[in-house]
Amino acid sequence: MPMRTLLCLQDRAPFVAPRAEPDALARIAEALEDLDAPALPGDFAQFLAEANGFVWNGIEIFGSERIVLDRDHSVVPALAEINDSYHAKFDEMRSRLVIGRAEDDLYVFDDCADAYLILDRRGFEEAARFPTFAELLRHIVAERK
């Protein structure tokens, strides 16, 4: 379960946004449909229902709304916002839903592969593939512990 992974980080000061309400999930689903982006995968939607975004140690997982961090006033974009940007600029991203990022990595759900991928942020080369969001999250957190 993804939340178990986040709970293990409590002593390391992650920022976990409050859960997304059902109406927020409906709005993001509609916004992604309007962008002709892939739909929210079920397991990622479940994660958002528990934590509507996550920031820790350089990792950003996007939620239905922007996240403004108090410590430095930096802004983590919302899912629709980041996907609108990538889909407008890069045709190869149209079958992918960008769900997060780190310094050199993008975290995406690839609709055609039905898998979560870690991509290089510059050339979009695949670095790793995971069947579930929980496995992706465990991997990226373990890399940075």
Burial class (CB in 10 A: 0-12, 13-18, 19+), 123: exposed
Instruction: State the pLDDT at residue 2.
Output: 57
User: Which tens digit of pLDDT belongs to each residue from 39-71?
Assistant: 999 999 999 999 899 888 889 999 999 988 877
How is residue 17 annotated by DSSP? P
Instruction: State the pLDDT at residue 8.
Output: 57
* Residues 119, 116: Cα–Cα separation, whole Å: 10
Q: Which helix (H) or strand (E) holds 139?
A: helix 133-144
More confident residue, 6 or 103: 103
* Residues 9, 41: Cα–Cα separation, whole Å: 24
Stated pTM of the model: 0.90
- Asked if pLDDT for residue 12 goes beyond 60, the answer is no
Instruction: State the pLDDT at residue 25.
Output: 95
Q: What is the DSSP string of 26-90?
A: HHHHHHHHHTTPPPPPHHHHHHHHH-S-EEETTEEE--SS-EE-TTT--EEPPHHHHHHHHHHH-
What are the structural domain ranges in the chain? Answer: 2-144
pLDDT grade for 4, boundaries at 50, 70 and 90:
low
pLDDT grade for 100, boundaries at 50, 70 and 90:
very high
**Which CATH number does 2-144 carry?**
3.40.1580.10
Instruction: State the pLDDT at residue 57.
Output: 86
For the beta carbon of residue 129, count every other beta carbon within 10 angstroms: 13
